[in-house]
Amino acid sequence: MSWLREQFFGEHPAAALLRKLKVPYSYDRGGSLVIEGNLDLAGKCPDKLPDLSYCTVMGEFDCSNNALTSLKGSPLRVGGNFVCRGNALKTLEGVTAEIGGDLHAGGNLLYTLFWLPVDFHELRTDLGDFRSLQDIPAQLLKEEGILENLSPAQKSVTVLRRIDGVKPVIFAKPKPQKTKKIIFKPKRPSGSKAPRP
């Protein structure tokens, strides 16, 4: 089937990469790639994922220890765990919509879980470990996440990474400071009287 599909429709964009990695694959009836086992791209994608958006990985998908800033191009479905630890992700935008196992996203710069898939077994991030959407604080499910109450200057400071078990720094909304009203009164020369109206 794969030879016939490639003859009539051309090679799938991810097929060359899978052959290079010696990962066996096949095509389903709809023409999408199916990878029966695991797909390990850990340390193999310097800055972005290859287009795997029409691929189904039946096992685990691992894209950890790269310098990814986005998960765009992630597989359509992952039957096992989705592992994206040790990247430079600030959001989970582009993450696989259907994950049969756990989602491991620690060691990133996450400030929101807004693009989280609905179904997962367990979520592990630097923002916390969660077993369901109901366990996640509402603030983290907003697009702005923990940055919602920060000033632009605070947002520019990247202190969200959890290092050696230290929890991320979460700023509280700055409180307005009371200002004293200063009234400037010019000094009158000594000995002079103010004119009367």
**Has residue 52 been placed in a domain?**
yes
Q: What is the largest CA-CA distance in the chain?
A: 107
Phi, psi of 119 (to 5 degrees): -105, 125
Model confidence band, residue 60 (pLDDT cutoffs 50, 70, 90): very high
Please say if the pLDDT value at position 122 is more than 80: yes
Nearest of 70, 65, 116 to residue 90 by alpha carbon: 70
**Of residues 138 and 181, which shows the higher confidence score?**
138
**Has residue 147 been placed in a domain?**
yes
**Has residue 193 been placed in a domain?**
no
Q: Give the H/E segment covering residue 56.
A: strand 55-57
Please say if the pLDDT value at position 175 is more than 60: no
User: How many Å apart are CA 151 and CA 131, to the nearest integer?
Assistant: 31
**Has residue 183 been placed in a domain?**
no
Model confidence band, residue 149 (pLDDT cutoffs 50, 70, 90): low
**154-167 per-residue burial string, b: 16 or more CB within 10 A, e: under 16:** eeeeeebebeeeee
Query: Residue 77 is part of which domain span?
Result: 2-155
**Has residue 172 been placed in a domain?**
no
Please say if the pLDDT value at position 1 is more than 50: no
